[in-house]
Amino acid sequence: MKRLSKQTARQIVKELNVIIDEKINVMNEEAIIIASSDPLRVNTFHEAAKKIIDEKLEEVIVLDDNQYIGTKRGINFPIILDNKIIGVIGITGPYEAVSKYGKLIKRMVEIFMLETFLKEQKQVISSMKQYFLNEWINSDKTSNELSERGNELAINLKIKRRFVMLFLELKEKLSPYDEMMYLESIEQELFKKIYGLDAEALVLNDKPTYTILTTHTENEATLVFARTFKKEIELKYNVILSIGIGTKDLNLLPKEQKKTAKLSLQQALRHPNKMIIMYSDLSLQTLTSIISPYQQEQYINKVMKNFNDKEKTEIIHLLNAYYQHEGSLKKTAEYLNIHPNTLQYQLKNIKDKTGHDPRSLKDSSVFVILLEFYNNLFY
C-alpha cells in the first residue's frame, strides 16, 4: 500500500512554501499533521482531514478557526493516488485568498507523490537486483531457482558475461556533502554510458568500486568497452578510473571470475597511470606481489601438509630442478646426482601425499605456484 511518509510530507511543505506565502499542512491517513509550515501544529489532530478521509470528500472549507478540532480557516483537499486517499493537504488562510489556487496545489502534490512513489519503486527494484546479484555471484552453482528469480528481475543469467571491476577516484578533495552529490552525478553518467555500450550489462554497486558484468566477452571487445566509458567519464569529470578485466574463462564460478577481476584491479591501482589491466596480462610474479605472505604460507602448508620441514626443503629442491629442466627425468636426475628410478619414486611419493602429480601438465600449475610462493618467502 502506498503511504505518505513524513519525509515526503516535509518536502511537499518546503516546495509549496517557495510558491505561496500561506501556511501549508500535510495530514496522513489518520488525520494527524505530519508536516507543516507551523512546527507547533505537527503531530496534532486535524478534524477536517478526518472528515475528508472518512466521507471521501473532494474538499472541506473551514470558515472559522473553531469550526473543527485542530483546524484553522482555510481549504483542505484529499491527496489521491491510485484512487485511494493517502493523505490530506491543507492551506491556511481566508477562503477568497486560497481557493484560487487550491485545486492546482492539490494536483501538483499528487503529481509530486506519483513521481516520488515511482522513484521509490525504482530504488526498491534496484536494491532487489543488487541483493540478487550478490547472492548469485557468491553461490556455488546457478540453480533453476536462481535463474527463475533472475528472470523475475529481468536478469537473464544464461547470457555469458565477463567481469570488469573499476575503482572511481576523485582528483581533488571535496566536503563530504559536495563529494556525495558529485559522485551521485558521476554514477548516473557512468551507468548511462555502460548501458549505452551494453544494454545487457549488469552492475554491482559497492561505491567507489563497481563490478560490471559485460556481454562483450572477447578480449578486444572488452577492452574497447572499458576504454570507451573510462575515456568519456574522465573527460567529463575530474576523476580517475582504474579498471581490472577478469578471466576469459566464463565456465568458472562467478565468484572465481570476480576474484580474477579484483586481482587485475589491484594491479591497475598500483600502476602510476591507473591504467586498464587484463587478467591474462598478469604474470605469476605479479600475482605473488598481490597475494599476502600469510596467504602464500597458507597455500604452501595446504599443499605440503603431509611432509615435515626437512622433507619440504628436499621436495622444493627437487621440484625446482625438475621444472628448470622442463620435466626431463634424465637431466633432472643428472643434476641431482640420483638414479632416474629414484627420481621417479620421489615424484610418485609427492603425488601420493599431495594428490597432485608433478609430472602431469594438468597438475603442474599447483607446483609452479607452490615454488613461486616458497621461493618468494624463504629464499
What pairs with residue 124 in β-bridges? none
Please identify, in words, the CATH class of the domain defined by 292-378. Answer: mainly alpha
pLDDT, residue 288, reads 75
Q: What does the pLDDT profile of the chain (379 residues) look like in tens digits?
A: 578 889 889 999 998 988 888 899 999 999 999 999 999 999 999 999 999 999 999 999 999 988 999 999 999 999 998 889 999 999 998 888 888 888 888 888 888 888 888 888 888 999 999 999 999 999 988 889 999 999 999 999 999 999 999 999 998 888 988 988 999 999 999 999 999 999 999 999 998 999 999 999 999 999 999 999 999 999 999 999 999 999 999 999 999 999 999 989 988 888 766 689 999 888 776 777 778 889 899 999 999 999 999 999 999 999 999 998 989 999 999 999 999 999 999 999 999 999 999 999 888 889 989 998 998 888 7
For 61-110, give the DSSP string: EE-STTSSTT--SEEEEEEEETTEEEEEEEEES-HHHHHHHHHHHHHHHH
Please give the Cα distance from 31 to 346 (Å, whole number).
Answer: 85
Residues 6-109, CATH architecture: 2-Layer Sandwich (3.30)
| Domain ranges for the chain | 6-109, 159-282, 292-378
Please give the Cα distance from 24 to 11 (Å, whole number).
Answer: 11
CA distances (Å), origin 54, targets 5, 6, 123, 188:
20, 21, 32, 43
Query: What is the rounded radius of gyration, in angstroms, for the C-alpha atoms of the chain?
Result: 33
Consecutive H or E run containing 220: helix 219-236
Q: Which CATH superfamily is domain 159-282 in?
A: Reverse transcriptase/Diguanylate cyclase domain (3.30.70.270)
Instruction: Find, among 87, 89, 115, the residue nearest to 102 by Cα.
Output: 89
45 secondary structure, DSSP code: B
pLDDT, residue 116, reads 85
169-182 burial string, b = 16+ CB within 10 Å, else e?
eeeeeeeeeeeeeb
Consecutive H or E run containing 207: none
Summarised one tens digit per residue, pLDDT across range 228-270 is: 999 999 999 999 999 999 999 999 999 999 999 998 998 888 8
Q: Which three cell numbers mark 265?
A: 584491479
How many Cβ atoms sit within 10 Å of the Cβ of residue 268?
22
Is the torsion defined by CA of 79, 84, 86, 92 positive or negative? positive
Q: What angle do CA 272, 273, 278 make, to 5 degrees?
A: 105
Q: Are 144 and 243 in contact (CB under 8 A)?
A: no
- Predicted TM-score (pTM) of this structure: 0.64
SS3 for 328-376 is CHHHHHHHHCCCHHHHHHHHHHHHHHHCCCCCCHHHHHHHHHHHHHHHH
Q: Are 253 and 143 in contact (CB under 8 A)?
A: no
Q: Are 48 and 62 in contact (CB under 8 A)?
A: yes
Q: Which three cell numbers mark 321?
A: 630442478
Please give the Cα distance from 286 to 277 (Å, whole number).
Answer: 12
Please give the Cα distance from 167 to 272 (Å, whole number).
Answer: 14
pLDDT, residue 78, reads 93
Q: Are 268 and 277 in contact (CB under 8 A)?
A: yes
